[in-house]
């Protein structure tokens, strides 16, 4: 394809190395493409509050699509510009399916307010026995009934000891197309969004409502990813790129596979044009 008019990238396992840093080579090529008027958008499963440390490393990120497409975030203005939540009735129905398919699994929810950090909203809350999949302190806790009583942009289902692939396989037949199930962590954690919400729909929604992206078509987008939550975006974009460390499902969906995230795979592709 010709030089893209928009570049979209997943964050963990794609843009960032194992040290959670953007390499100098990757930062340099992103700086060059933005200087030429090509937007660079973060499209991630991360919530908005986990975006500023990444955006600060680059200094050129205006927008991020968060929570696997459920949240649109204006990084510069620190403002949530759109969200598509699961409602309490959806969460209760999901809880019943989880109890049947994955007995013993624990739940957490992501919520958003008006900003990345909003004191008016308890943003990530989980059951008392929920074990975080990433290093660091545990989230604030609530009992399950209260946990499910408020809208959430993502339901997290944790079943330590199972693979995320296996979890999705047993839960999907019970929920059908009423929600979207994906994962970005292989070790017993699946992420549930409203039906029809994906990184592809989130990026498309952002482009449609943002004047800076007017006139850019899907086939003019290059997108990068490494995990199943990236598949829809890579298929939708004009050119989808799987990282060398990508899940097999991502490799199968992509137009090409580049080097790994620790070997500047993203930069290797973008340097063709910038």
Spatial CA neighbour of 6 closest among 239, 229, 171? 239
Per-residue pLDDT reduced to its tens digit, 28-71: 999 999 999 999 999 999 999 999 999 999 999 999 999 999 99
Per-residue pLDDT reduced to its tens digit, 82-121: 999 999 999 999 999 999 999 999 999 999 999 999 888 8
pLDDT (average), residues 211-233? 96
What is the distance between the alpha carbons of residues 179 and 90, in angstroms, rounded to a whole number?
A: 9
Contacts by residues 218-222 (CB-CB < 8 Å, ≥ 24 positions apart): 219/1, 220/4, 220/5, 220/6, 221/4, 221/5, 221/6, 221/7, 221/8, 222/1, 222/4, 222/6, 222/7, 222/8, 222/269, 222/270
**Is 246 a residue whose pLDDT tops 80?**
yes
Q: Which two tokens stand for residue 140?
A: 């604030």
**Coil, strand or helix: which one is 169?**
helix
**Is 213 a residue whose pLDDT tops 80?**
yes
What is the distance between the alpha carbons of residues 1 and 184, in angstroms, rounded to a whole number?
A: 28
The pLDDT value recorded for residue 137 is 63
**Is 132 a residue whose pLDDT tops 90?**
no
The pLDDT value recorded for residue 1 is 81
| 64, 42 Cβ separation under 8 angstroms | yes
pLDDT grade for 191, boundaries at 50, 70 and 90: very high
Beta strands, E only, 96-215: 106-110, 124-126, 154-158, 179-185, 189-194
pLDDT (average), residues 166-192? 95
**Is 136 a residue whose pLDDT tops 70?**
no
pLDDT (average), residues 210-224? 95
What is the distance between the alpha carbons of residues 87 and 193, in angstroms, rounded to a whole number?
A: 10
**Is 229 a residue whose pLDDT tops 90?**
yes
Provide the sign of the torsion angle of the four alpha carbons 182, 185, 189, 192, taken in this order.
negative
| 48, 80 Cβ separation under 8 angstroms | yes
What is the distance between the alpha carbons of residues 193 and 113, in angstroms, rounded to a whole number?
A: 17
Percent of the chain with pLDDT over 90: 93
According to DSSP, residue 138 is labeled P
Mean pLDDT of the chain: 95
pLDDT grade for 267, boundaries at 50, 70 and 90: very high
pLDDT grade for 134, boundaries at 50, 70 and 90: confident
């Amino acid at each position: 394809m010709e030089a893209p008019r928009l570049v979209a990238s997943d964050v963990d396992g794609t843009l960032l190395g194992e040290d959670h840093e953007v390499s100098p080579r990757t930062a340099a090529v992103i700086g060059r493409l933005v200087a030429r008027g090509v937007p660079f958008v973060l499209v991630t499963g991360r919530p908005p509050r986990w975006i500023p440390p990444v955006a600060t490393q680059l200094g050129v990120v205006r927008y991020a699509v968060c929570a696997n497409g459920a949240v649109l975030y204006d990084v510069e203005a620190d403002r949530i510009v759109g969200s598509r939540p699961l409602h309490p009735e959806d969460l209760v129905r999901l809880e019943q399916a989880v109890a049947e398919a994955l007995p013993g699994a624990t739940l957490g929810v992501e919520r958003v307010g008006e900003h990345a950090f909003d004191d008016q909203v308890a943003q990530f809350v989980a059951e008392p026995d929920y074990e975080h999949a990433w290093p660091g302190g545990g989230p604030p806790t609530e009992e399950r009934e209260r946990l499910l009583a408020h809208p959430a942009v993502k339901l997290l289902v944790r079943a330590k000891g199972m693979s995320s692939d296996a979890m999705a396989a047993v839960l999907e037949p019970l929920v059908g197309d009423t929600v979207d199930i994906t994962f970005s962590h292989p070790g017993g954690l699946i992420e549930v969004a409203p039906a029809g919400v994906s990184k592809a729909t989130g990026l498309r929604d952002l482009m449609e409502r943002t004047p800076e992206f007017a006139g850019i078509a899907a086939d003019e987008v290059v997108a990068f990813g490494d995990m199943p939550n990236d598949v829809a975006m890579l298929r939708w974009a004009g050119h989808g790129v799987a990282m060398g460390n990508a899940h097999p499902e991502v490799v199968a969906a992509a137009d090409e596979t580049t080097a790994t995230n620790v070997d500047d795979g993203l930069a290797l592709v973008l340097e063709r044009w910038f």
